[in-house]
Amino acid sequence: MARGWESKAVASQQEEAQRGEAGDTHRPLSEEERVRIQRRRTLELARARTAADFVRASTPAQQVMLERALEALDAELRALQS
């Protein structure tokens, strides 16, 4: 579970980097866009760490707590995409 998400995040970051290196001339990002991108990256990193913690969780209570955290992070990521 954690590896799948991390792989997607890495692939997404690589695609973004390639787009930036391809010489595309885009308008500069607004402050709001920069904040939104940073928030998304922060959420993606938090989700990856939480997913890794979930895999290593040793008690049912930990698993429940981490599962709820993953659901909340997923909801925030979906909200950022809309």
For the ranges 22-26, 27-31, 50-54, the lowest mean pLDDT is seen at 22-26
Mean pLDDT computed over 31-52: 96
CA-wise closest residue to 26 among 16, 36, 35: 16
Residue 24 has pLDDT above 80, yes or no: no
Mean pLDDT computed over 12-26: 65
CB 70, CB 47: distance < 8 Å: yes
pLDDT value of position 13: 72
Q: Domain segments of the chain: what residues? A: 2-9+30-81
Mean pLDDT computed over 38-44: 97
pLDDT value of position 76: 96
Helix axes 31-56, 2-21, angle to 10 degrees: 150
User: Whole-angstrom Cα distance, residue 78 to residue 73?
Assistant: 9
Mean pLDDT computed over 36-55: 97
Compare 75 and 29 and report the one with higher pLDDT.
Answer: 75
pTM of the complete model: 0.65
